[in-house]
Amino acid sequence: MSKNNFPEIQLPSGYRLMWLFVFFDLPTQTKKHRKAYQQFRDVLLKDGFTMYQFSVYTRHCISYQSAEAHINKVEKQMPAEGKISILNVTDKQFEKIVNYFGSERIPPPDTPQQLEMF
């Protein structure tokens, strides 16, 4: 117990927390292709993904099991054409990423301070 009689909150390990990356290259030549692209992008956004770069979206997950559930959601909404890749890395692995904006090195994004509600 802490000094205010509330239990200490134990944060999950950086080896347990996961980051999902969804990389995609979808065709946009026809109206049908553009609609499928937009629908897929909307599914990612509604599921809590954020744009990391064009056609690269990330989502923080509290565990590997949570990451698997989100992977399943993405798989169910994949368009019939195009290429989609999903990468799963731990928070500890992700913190080692090296980012540049122009020629300036910038730190990786912070781990979100959010709770997942089921």
Higher pLDDT, 101 or 73: 73
Domain 18-103 architecture = 2-Layer Sandwich (3.30)
pLDDT per residue over 87-108, tens digit each?
A: 999 999 998 989 898 899 988 7
Query: CA–CA separation, 5 vs 32, rounded Å?
Result: 59
Q: CA dist 88 to 2, 51, 94, Å? A: 35, 16, 10
pLDDT per residue over 25-39, tens digit each?
A: 999 999 999 999 999
Could you list the beta-strand ranges (E) of the chain. 18-25, 50-53, 56-61, 83-90, 99-101, 104-106
pTM exceeds 0.85 for this model: no
Query: CA–CA separation, 59 vs 23, rounded Å?
Result: 12
Q: How confident is the model at residue 49 (pLDDT cuts 50, 70, 90)?
A: very high
